[in-house]
Structure 1
Amino acid sequence: MTTPNSKVTARSIADDLREQIRTGVLRPGEALPTTRELAESYGVTMKTVSSGIDSLKAEGLVVGERGGRRRVRSDRPITWNLTRFERGQRRDTAAMDDWSTSIKEAGREPEQHVKVFSEEASAEVASWLALSPGDEVVVRERSRLVDGHPFQLSTSYFPGTIANGTPLTQAGDVAMPGGILKAIGHPQHRVRDEITVRMPTPEETERLQLPPGTPVAQHVRIGYGEQGPVRAMTTIAPGDRHVLVYELEV
């Protein structure tokens, strides 16, 4: 019987496998060696190996499958340039909005599912849009997928006085050249971004299929027209699927 190597711990195993994932030795979607194989390789017990791998699962680097096999998470992150997003000459077309166009340009496949409804503005939404709580807002709620996998939950709020009677109330993934707000006479002239990093709610975890321990970035973008706010958009972006980029002149 082999004596366990006391110098190898669950943490050091996790560190070693994490480095193999980072450097590409273990590729996205690749199955890890079995627990028994790793235990023999590191000279430790299977329990120690399982504890190390559990750490990687909690970080979202490794996912489990039926039958007990573990694989390197295969979702490739997208680079989301928030400086260019919706700035200047928007890349909206009649078929795709600015977000979908940017994903397509990166060689990935975008998909959006949209729900549209009206509701009374909550205190938070009212503060974003300079409204009174209870005022009508039109909501466009999007589930965004990349290559068939959930990547973002994005919800836009528009004052009812601006949105009613316009394409903003149409169901489905509606897009117009230059953006719908510009097309209906309420272009955005500037935006304000607020980013919060937090743990997801149970609903967000389910809808985004998040591994345990995966944080999300909550990105709120408030768009201002000539007279004040015309839209507030909040996007939930999983931390394991996004690189957020800003480019600023200094």
Structure 2
Amino acid sequence: MRLALARLKQEGLVISQQGRGNFVRGRHRIRRFGIERYSRSVWGGEQARPLLEAEGGKQGRSIGQTTETDTAPAPAFVADRLPGISEGDTVHVRRRVTTIDGVINQSVDSYFSLETGARSAALLSGEGTGGHIARINAISPVLEIQEELSARMPTGPESSHLQIPEGTPVVEIIRTYHTQDGPLDVTKFVIRADMAAFDYRFPVPD
């Protein structure tokens, strides 16, 4: 029985709750439509909404979020992607944790320079419609979005912070907003892999 339960946990089918027992894991997955989700009509239209909120709403899911803005030394992956920033330089970081139907699904850390932060009080406060992309776009029009995806197991702190069940991998996405003024923001997502499905459809390039 112990071996069978261990195998089910490893396969992500069962979770254990101390003092309560073992339970079949519920599904709170949202399909992320890779290109469509960035449509200007979503975050910049008359009824502008943050990307995940708009996407989740279409799929009948309830989306929640906690957020804070701080300063921190720039990690290497940020320095590699933001012009004029070296590893260890002080940058702004806007940290969010989002939920789907009350279950934590991801952390989202957006890094931008002190100079970029000085150009927009709304970016620092997180106020306004349309979410983070709309506030970057208000500083300089967003021309391209680059996303780099990789899969891995979560670190100990990530498992604790995001309440990730045993045996659950994560998808890490590094997103760069390329604007008219160049790259202005680098965002790192750590997403529970059992709570996201990635759906991409696009024309075949010549």
TM-score by length of 2: 0.86
160, 176, 182: which is aligned to 2:137? 182
1:58: which partner in 2? 10
Stretches of structure 2 that go unaligned for 5 or more consecutive residues are none
Per the TM alignment, residue 94 of structure 1 is displaced from its structure 2 partner at its CA by 7.9
Matched, 1:140 2:94: yes
1:70: which partner in 2? 22
Q: Which has the higher contact order (CA 8 A, sep 6+)?
A: 2
157, 163, 167: which is aligned to 1:203? 157
Mapped to 1, the partners of 2:123 and 2:19 lie a distance apart of 47
> Are the counterparts in 2 of residues 224 and 230 from structure 1 also a CA contact under 8 Å?
yes
Stretches of structure 1 that go unaligned for 5 or more consecutive residues are 1-48
Per the TM alignment, residue 218 of structure 1 is displaced from its structure 2 partner at its CA by 0.1
Matched, 1:97 2:32: no
Report SS of the residue matched to 2:140.
coil
1:194: which partner in 2? 148
1:83: which partner in 2? 35
Aligned AA (1:99): L
> Are the counterparts in 2 of residues 216 and 238 from structure 1 also a CA contact under 8 Å?
yes
> Are the counterparts in 2 of residues 138 and 164 from structure 1 also a CA contact under 8 Å?
no
Report SS of the residue matched to 1:139.
strand
* Cα deviation code 1:118-138 (max 9, x no counterpart): 233233211111233144422
> Are the counterparts in 2 of residues 64 and 71 from structure 1 also a CA contact under 8 Å?
yes
Per the TM alignment, residue 67 of structure 1 is displaced from its structure 2 partner at its CA by 5.3
Per the TM alignment, residue 66 of structure 1 is displaced from its structure 2 partner at its CA by 4.5
Structure 2 counterparts to residues 162-173 of structure 1, below 5 A: 162-166=116-120, 167-170=122-125, 173=126
Deviating beyond 6 angstroms after TM superposition, the runs of 4 or more aligned structure 1 residues are none
Per the TM alignment, residue 114 of structure 1 is displaced from its structure 2 partner at its CA by 0.5
Report SS of the residue matched to 1:56.
helix
Aligned AA (2:74): A
Mapped to 2, the partners of 1:77 and 1:116 lie a distance apart of 27
Aligned AA (1:191): I
Mapped to 2, the partners of 1:169 and 1:67 lie a distance apart of 42
Compare CA radii of gyration and give the structure with the larger one: 1
57, 73, 85: which is aligned to 1:120? 73
Mapped to 2, the partners of 1:126 and 1:206 lie a distance apart of 27
* Greater share of strand: 2
Name the stretch that deviates more: 121-130 or 92-101: 92-101
> Are the counterparts in 2 of residues 79 and 242 from structure 1 also a CA contact under 8 Å?
yes
2:183: which partner in 1? 229
Report SS of the residue matched to 1:179.
helix
Structure 2 counterparts to residues 139-158 of structure 1, below 5 A: 139-158=93-112
Give the alignment's Cα RMSD to 1 decimal.
2.2
Name the stretch that deviates more: 72-81 or 191-200: 72-81
Per the TM alignment, residue 96 of structure 1 is displaced from its structure 2 partner at its CA by 4.2
* Cα deviation code 1:37-86 (max 9, x no counterpart): xxxxxxxxxxxx33122101122210124556422101321111222232
